[in-house]
Amino acid sequence: MTGGFSRSGGLQAGIDYVTNPDAIVMTIDMHLTLPPGFVEYTRRHVVQGKMGFAPMFFRLNQGYTEININGFWETLTYGLLGMYKSDWTTAGGFDVQKYTTKWGGEDWGAVDRVVTHGIELFRVRYPGLAHYFHTKKGMWDNNLQSKYNH
């Protein structure tokens, strides 16, 4: 990929890289801990042509420790989304035109297309699936950095 950062473009490039329509493709965030059994659980809850898997994860706040685990269940995001490649293709994947450099909303756009094409999504709070706190400083261009720097 060339040019500036594009989350939707990067995710779509990963989906496009997979050629086997019978392979399961899962979009994830690099700041996650994937607990043991997560891949198998995903495989069991994805049904080709019928159902994808969009687990909820626990977002850890800054300053968490193993003794003082603070954070919250992230219920309003679909950043983790697993389906068969054939279902990604049928639904149209991510809108890389609308979300070329925009951060946020690309997951909801993809979910809208998925559901419109008759694919249901299985949602569950997945124990041990945690997103680690990280600063967003310097992660994107200046427009995005100022919007998401907190």
pTM here is 0.80
Q: Report, as an integer, the average pLDDT of 88-103.
A: 79
- Taking 50 as the threshold, does the pLDDT of residue 134 lie above it? yes
Distance of CA 69 to the CA centre of its chain: 23
* pLDDT-derived band at 141, boundaries 50, 70, 90: low
Which has more confidence, 100 or 57? 57
Name the nearest CA neighbour of 93 among 5, 4, 9: 9
* pLDDT-derived band at 67, boundaries 50, 70, 90: confident
Per-residue tokens: 9: 């473009």
* pLDDT-derived band at 84, boundaries 50, 70, 90: very high
Name the nearest CA neighbour of 74 among 116, 149, 132: 132
Name the nearest CA neighbour of 102 among 6, 2, 3: 6
- Owner of token pair 């909820």: 56
Element (H, E) at 115: helix 106-116
- Owner of token pair 């756009």: 109
Percent of the chain scoring above 70 in pLDDT: 79
Check residue 116 and give its pLDDT: 95
Q: Report, as an integer, the average pLDDT of 120-143.
A: 78
Q: How far apart are the first and last CA of the chain?
A: 28
By three-state DSSP, how is residue 26 classified?
Answer: strand
Check residue 144 and give its pLDDT: 46
- DSSP lists the bridge partners of residue 71 as 60
Element (H, E) at 142: helix 142-148
User: In 110-120, which positions are buried (b, 16+ CB within 10 angstroms) versus exposed (e)?
Assistant: bbebbeeeebe
Q: Which pLDDT tens digit goes with each residue over 24-42?
A: 999 988 788 899 999 999 9
